[in-house]
Structure 1
Amino acid sequence: MAGESDTSNNRPRPRYRRILLKLSGEALMGRKPYGIDWHVLETYAREIRQVVELGVAVGIVIGGGNIFRGVQNASRGMKRAHADYMGMLATMINAMALQDALEQAGLDTRLQSSIKMEQIAEPFIRRRAIRHLEKGRVVIFGAGTGNPYFTTDTAAALRALEIEAEVLLKGTRVDGVYSADPERDPNARLFTTIHGREVIQRDLRVMDMTAFTLCREAGLPIIVFNMNKPGNLLRVVCGEPVGTLVYWTETPPSFAETAQA
């Protein structure tokens, strides 16, 4: 069942009013060895548009690993802080590409950067971002947190809390959180729900520890799902049990119960 339906127009009714969607830069490569696959961007734009048309406010944080990975290049001799700033610029390239795809899909957008780039993006201002969301604009947050030594996962958790998102959705290329790497272990088990404490105990690496700690302290649920399967984003937003729900309450809630009534 595709969520609750609005009987007036037979459309599904979203469970969430405001979400933060985290996308990896690597996902934009598609089948390419590096860079951006425009087909992937067009597909993502259509998926996001379906959600926006239901009245859901959407904030997006995107990584830059398809262009430059700060940690990886720092390990090859480059200073970590310098490499991280280069990684932030890579996220801005992806953010601009996604912005263009969304606008070609007919959506209103705003791109905000944690590093001043007045010619191409607004500076990140929390109240302005919330106002854009209230007006139905998709807000893309680029340049991570604006500081080295922090990942885009941490930026996603931070922005989710700042815009008062009800859930953090992490779109990946796998179906959710597994007991082991499903690409290496055919016996890996997919979790439908899992407590954040167990994620830490099992060292499942859903997000980096800084991001995870932010979500834990705020009680912000995380849903990890396969963004590359058509319709998955809409199904998640409508409360269907897609992917893995990481929760913080003592008893496991249903997907629907993670949203406010």
Structure 2
Amino acid sequence: MNDEPPSPSSNAVKYKRIVLKLSGEVLRGGKSGDPIDAPTLQAICNQIKEIHALGVQICVIIGGGNIFRGLQGSKQGVDRTTGDYMGMLATVINGLAIMDCLEKLGVTTRVQSAIPMNQIGEPFILRRAVRHLEKGRVVIFVAGTGNPYFSTDTTAALRASEMRADIIMKATKVDGIYDKDPVLHPDAVKYDELTFLDALKQRLSVMDSTAFSLCLDNNVPILVFDLSDEHAIRKAIAGEKVGTLVHA
């Protein structure tokens, strides 16, 4: 398989290196109810392939909530630390699914795990991850930070800071950030842009507090957008108005 980086398209891209944060829930099938729905997985990987063809360097971070979420497990009697490790293993399953799908689409990938799993993927090594990006490979980070009590949002903020990514693109099932829950409140107002300070003052749930603090301290912007638009990521990469942008 050709490991050479794709040649950039003539279309200008606003962001050269991104961290794409996917919740595990986006993989769950609507009709099938499977934890990993094959058509949904395919659609997500098609979007990744589309921007990869533009020469964008892509890091993917996937949650594990479609399989197991540590915080929910603790409410059911599972020890929080144990539950968080179970959740980390769930992200490994999801990461391997994305890897397999992307490879079948002709996109070279590398999986890097915060918990050593030599038969499954490489350990996280910053310089090696950067080199993979420079060679045109998609890098999939799994197992969170390797520590309990930290979410995959925090992993996204940490890796984006380490990798010097231009932006975190947080894919959700909502088309941006609202002043209140748009499902419960039809009069909810959507923001096109927000500053970090405004988001903090209004206590908007962009990311958990640890992740948000990392983004604020390291000036990493966050774009929250709806993944159901099949070209949403490409539009965002091109600088079109998509979702809500949180920045300094």
TM range (shorter): over 0.9
2:135 matches 1:141: no
2:230 matches 1:220: no
**Total equivalences in the alignment:** 240
1:92 corresponds to which residue? 92
Displacement of 1:77 in angstroms is: 1.4
2:175 corresponds to which residue? 175
Whole-angstrom CA distance in 1 between matches of 2:60 and 2:178:
24
2:60 matches 1:74: no
2:26 corresponds to which residue? 27
Whole-angstrom CA distance in 1 between matches of 2:236 and 2:147:
31
Mapped contact 2:115–2:146 kept (Cα < 8 A): yes
Q: How does 1:51-200 map to 2 (within 5 A)?
A: 51-200=51-200
Cα deviation per residue 1:25-83 (whole Å; 9 max; x = unaligned)?
A: 00000304451101111101110111111110000100000000100111221111110
TM-score (normalizing by structure 2) = 0.94
2:21 matches 1:15: no
Whole-angstrom CA distance in 2 between matches of 1:30 and 1:67:
12
2:40 corresponds to which residue? 40
Cα deviation per residue 1:98-138 (whole Å; 9 max; x = unaligned)?
A: 11111111100000000011101110000000000000000
Whole-angstrom CA distance in 2 between matches of 1:10 and 1:51:
10
2:246 corresponds to which residue? 246
Whole-angstrom CA distance in 2 between matches of 1:203 and 1:30:
31
Mapped contact 2:9–2:53 kept (Cα < 8 A): no
Cα deviation per residue 1:211-232 (whole Å; 9 max; x = unaligned)?
A: 0000000111110011121111
Whole-angstrom CA distance in 1 between matches of 2:118 and 2:53:
29
Q: State percent identity of aligned pairs.
A: 50
Mapped contact 2:9–2:54 kept (Cα < 8 A): no
Whole-angstrom CA distance in 1 between matches of 2:33 and 2:71:
19
Whole-angstrom CA distance in 2 between matches of 1:203 and 1:191:
14
Mapped contact 1:34–1:67 kept (Cα < 8 A): no
Whole-angstrom CA distance in 1 between matches of 2:9 and 2:125:
37
Whole-angstrom CA distance in 1 between matches of 2:241 and 2:11:
15
Which letter maps to 1:79?
D
1:256 corresponds to which residue? none
Whole-angstrom CA distance in 2 between matches of 1:235 and 1:220:
19
Matched position secondary structure for 1:35: coil
Whole-angstrom CA distance in 1 between matches of 2:16 and 2:29:
30
1:4 corresponds to which residue? none
Matched position secondary structure for 2:190: coil
1:6 corresponds to which residue? none
Q: Runs ≥4 in structure 1, deviation > 4 angstroms? A: none
Gaps in structure 2 of 5+ consecutive residues = 1-7
Mapped contact 1:89–1:143 kept (Cα < 8 A): yes
Which letter maps to 1:247?
H
Which letter maps to 2:199?
V
Matched position secondary structure for 2:130: helix
Gaps in structure 1 of 5+ consecutive residues = 1-8, 249-261
Displacement of 1:12 in angstroms is: 2.1
| 1:163/1:116 CA distance change after superposition, 3 Å | same
Displacement of 1:201 in angstroms is: 1.6
TM-score (normalizing by structure 1) = 0.90
Matched position secondary structure for 2:185: coil
1:203 corresponds to which residue? 203
CA RMSD for the aligned pairs? 1.2
